[in-house]
Amino acid sequence: MQLEIVSPEARLFSGEVSSLILPGSSGSFQVLDHHAPIVSTLIEGTVKIAGRLEVAAAVQDKFRNEGDWTLFDITSGAIEMRDNKVILLTD
């Protein structure tokens, strides 16, 4: 699935991923390839993305690797999954 992570300052990442785990306002949830359409608000926590992402040098400090996951901390946000594309908006 295509993942796009966007903050008010810039697009932080755009690329293919197979899975991500998100801190939803009603609890953590996982989104897999070809997941049903969903819109959800996110709370403070860590977004876990399967695999090791290649991100631009300007935003490398926002991401960290742990085992087979790339981690990204957020304070809040929203997510939309539709047509096998995830858009994650965060501040």
Report pTM: 0.92
- Token digits of residue 7: 């903050």
Structural domains of the chain, count: 1
Distance CA 75, CA 68 (A): 23
Q: Whole domain around residue 64: which residue ranges?
A: 2-90
CATH code for the domain of 79: 2.60.15.10
CA–CA distance, 13 with 18 (Å, rounded to integer): 14
Instruction: Specify the pLDDT at position 54.
Output: 85
What is the spatial distance between Cα 3 and Cα 47, in angstroms, rounded to a whole number? 12
**Contact (Cβ atoms closer than 8 angstroms) between residue 49 and residue 5:** no
| Residue 20: burial class (beta carbons within 10 Å; 0-12, 13-18, 19+) | buried
| Secondary structure letter of residue 11 according to DSSP | E
Q: What average pLDDT values come out for the chain (91 residues) when binned by 10 residues?
A: 94 94 96 95 97 87 93 96 96 84
List Cβ neighbours of 22 (8 Å cut-off, separation of 6 or more). Answer: 28, 29, 30, 31, 40, 42, 45, 47, 79, 88
